[in-house]
A and B are shown apart, each in its own frame.
Chain A
Amino acid sequence: MKTPVSHMLLVLLAAFIGSFGGVFLKSGAGALRQGWIYLVVSREPPFFNWKLASGVALFLLSSYFFVLGIRPPGELSVLYPMISLGYIFTLLWARIFFKEPLTRMKFVGLFLIVLGVFFVGLGSK
């Protein structure tokens, strides 16, 4: 069996959308400091925590494309490493949107994780 390019693109799309899901969850999470209720509502219009809601929606959308992508004949050994590309995107967004420092530890940790996901995929034939 060979993984069609369309399935690879679906999983890449899922990873891309998921990485933005993380960004929205993070930007919506700050409101929690004012109390648990602000998980849902907001003081400013539109009076609900739309950032958090968008984050959850993006995660759901991401898992939809992911499931489409890993359907047969998609092979996990090829597709798993592509999900971990989402972690690299996230590193970029965290830098751009939240000005988070990119330390060497983060690069080393991320590299090990991407490699690990690659091997788990390799073993999942």
Chain B
Amino acid sequence: MSATVTESAQISEKPARRQPVALVFCCTILGAAAQVLMKTGANHMTGPGLLGMLTNLPLMAGYCLYGISTLLLVVALKDGELSLLYPVIALTYVWVTVLSFALFHDSFNPWKLLGIVFIVSGVAVLGKGGKR
């Protein structure tokens, strides 16, 4: 998977269709980081008030990352196909699963691993399909 992305970054003569997949790839990493920050912010939430939310740094940082991630998605969609790029967003689940295991010590089990393997191979197939 990562090989596909670096390749598209290197071959600048034919950026036509792989570049958008690489962009959505970055978009999912940012999206996952946003979710982790929002979870951290939610854990430190003192009350349900709006002021409490606005002064909650991790929460606000999470929202900002979400904004940037959406921006990347829009740039990707400018040249890429919706039917190809939208399912790639599922990569977010992979990063969130790994990050929440590493940071919040959420459970990790064979089902999650199997899920990750399937999602990554699905994205790899879509990445290859976009070549033609």
Which chain A residues have a beta carbon within 8 Å of chain B's beta carbons?
A: 19, 22-23, 25-26, 28-30, 32-33, 39, 52, 55-56, 59, 80, 84, 87, 90-91, 93-95, 98, 100, 102-103, 105-106, 108-124
Contacts and interface: CB of A to CB of B under 8 A. Distances in A.
Interface of B: 70-71, 73-75, 77-78, 81-84, 86-87, 90, 93-94, 97, 107-126, 128-129, 132
Main secondary structure of the interface of B (DSSP, over half): helix
Contacts of B97: 120
A102 B86 CA distance: 13
A94 B82 contact: yes
Contact of B115 (A28, A108, A121): A121
Contact of B81 (A98, A113, A118, A120): A98
Given A93-B82, A117-B93, A124 B112 contact: yes
The 3 closest A-B pairs by CB, nearest first: A105-B129, A112-B122, A123-B111
6 contacts: A22-B77, A29-B75, A32-B75, A56-B70, A109-B129, A115-B122
A120 B119 CA distance: 9
B81 A117 contact: no
Contacts, number: 133
Contact of B90 (A22, A116, A124): A116
A100 B87 contact: no
Contact of B117 (A87, A108, A116, A122): A116
A123 B81 contact: no
Contacts of A29: 74-75, 77-78
B111 A106 contact: no
A22 B113 CA distance: 28
Contacts of A114: 122
Given A116-B116, A119-B115, A123-B110, A109 B87 contact: yes
A105 B128 CA distance: 8
Given A23-B82, A112-B119, A117-B90, 10 more contacts: A26-B82, A80-B93, A91-B87, A94-B83, A102-B83, A106-B84, A113-B123, A114-B122, A119-B115, A120-B112
